[in-house]
Structure 1
């Protein structure tokens, strides 16, 4: 089926290592937009840390943020929001602290990196994250969380873990966006590099892994493009949308 929407992960995919969009990627996205193809940023980032990129690309559709925890329009209208229970966030923070993991938490009122609130229940929590260079510590954390049935686990790097409410991920948010645009996931080209991209890459009409993607993503993708430093997003759009 014809590609009518391009879903783009940001870090490790659309963005270079210096967190900028290359001129090549920018130009190719502009040409896709001119063909009436929607472009949606689908990211683990919060709205505040990705909106400026959407503006710079002149996007006109939706933003999927916090791994599907929120869906926004480019006009700053909140469409969907899915929250973690505060007591669960506190439990995860305490477990991560006991394992000496670096933590970050995204609430609706900000990002808590290496910090925690006096009262977890005073905030609405979108995502919990932690990272470590100690694989054993991360494995232990994952094992401890496996006993909870209300969590969705993924990562954006091999050295981290990102957690959303069960059933909340980029693919579920993308399906919601497609319904609003009166298209299906078969009309989607999804591009990403990490485990938090896996489900959208599997469920999209065409799922493409970056050249720098984790091996698990390459294994499930329909194709593998160049790395984020070599304009892999541009190459995939050229191949599957522009036909150049």
Structure 2
């Protein structure tokens, strides 16, 4: 099988635990791109927050190269950061999600993503350090009334940060019960976040949508990840891959598990095996 595109999660997949990139990953991604291959970061983050990463990989401001952001909420061409598709959240849904989550714990940390901005309410020390490591820009807010967002760009998603999985579980249940599980996609990521997108928005459907726009078939797409919000793209791709450090539920649905972890150059392993000209 000839693969033409790899959609890849970032944190704990492409990136090392400290947010840096293994040199083998950088080298092999650049080699693959030079052969006309598409390497597409598929992340919960904003496309604006990955510009330094794109520059390192030789993808910044490049035509015909792309980023999928906000767990599938936006597809962006890197040339001029041109947004070519969005699937936004209504203001009313965002406010209901936000209010339901902070009801669990008034000290909870909340991220609200618009298509071009990240707002954080009540940022925690651990989250502040995590954002700094990954050079993610954000704006602090101190109000529980999100009406100011009505004058902002479309809302993409709302997520909550807490180190305790039990607390994240309660937030997921409370929000789903409040807004209706049929109206949201709820996922976990990075062992710290519980994320909410509008129903129908996920990394997998966005990967297939980008493939259709580029004339790339489902069977020609690879996807790689490590955590729960990566399941949809691993399920959707022609070849779904879990990195060695992935959580067990992701390993159980993947067709392939890398021998290397994110810290050891797992992406390089995939590209060397399936994409580069000298692969066997």
Same fold by TM (over 0.5)?
A: yes
Question: Do 1:96 and 1:102's aligned partners in 2 also have CA atoms closer than 8 Å?
Answer: no
Q: How many residues align?
A: 244
> Structure 1 stretch 91-100 or stretch 118-127: which is displaced more?
118-127
Is 1:166–2:199 an aligned residue pair?
Answer: yes
Residues 127-174 of structure 1 deviation map (CA, whole Å, 9 limit, x = unaligned): 111122333322222222333121111122233211111111111111
- Which secondary structure state, in structure 2, belongs to the residue aligned with residue 83 of structure 1? coil
- Which secondary structure state, in structure 1, belongs to the residue aligned with residue 189 of structure 2? coil
Q: Gaps spanning 5+ residues in structure 2: where?
A: 122-140
- Which secondary structure state, in structure 1, belongs to the residue aligned with residue 275 of structure 2? helix
Is 1:57–2:57 an aligned residue pair?
Answer: yes
Moved over 6 A (4+): none
Is 1:152–2:185 an aligned residue pair?
Answer: yes
Distance 1:146 1:204 in 2: 27
Is 1:209–2:242 an aligned residue pair?
Answer: yes
Is 1:228–2:245 an aligned residue pair?
Answer: no
Query: What residue number does 2:170 align with?
Result: 140
- Which secondary structure state, in structure 2, belongs to the residue aligned with residue 98 of structure 1? helix
Query: What residue number does 1:82 align with?
Result: 87
Question: Do 2:100 and 2:175's aligned partners in 1 also have CA atoms closer than 8 Å?
Answer: no
Q: Gaps spanning 5+ residues in structure 1: where?
A: none
Q: What's the CA shift for 1:109?
A: 4.3
CA RMSD of aligned residues (A): 1.7
Q: Structure 1 length as normaliser, TM-score? A: 0.93
Is 1:196–2:201 an aligned residue pair?
Answer: no
- Which secondary structure state, in structure 1, belongs to the residue aligned with residue 2 of structure 2? coil
Distance 1:79 1:58 in 2: 21
Question: Do 2:189 and 2:227's aligned partners in 1 also have CA atoms closer than 8 Å?
Answer: yes
Is 1:237–2:271 an aligned residue pair?
Answer: yes
Question: Do 2:14 and 2:262's aligned partners in 1 also have CA atoms closer than 8 Å?
Answer: yes
Is 1:121–2:150 an aligned residue pair?
Answer: yes
Distance 1:125 1:85 in 2: 7
Distance 1:179 1:109 in 2: 25
Question: Do 1:87 and 1:121's aligned partners in 2 also have CA atoms closer than 8 Å?
Answer: no
Residues 81-105 of structure 1 deviation map (CA, whole Å, 9 limit, x = unaligned): 1111111211221122121232111
Q: Which of the numbers 191, 212, 215 marks the counterpart of 1:182?
A: 215
Residues 195-231 of structure 1 deviation map (CA, whole Å, 9 limit, x = unaligned): 1111111111111101111111111001111111111
Query: What residue number does 1:15 align with?
Result: 15
Is 1:46–2:39 an aligned residue pair?
Answer: no
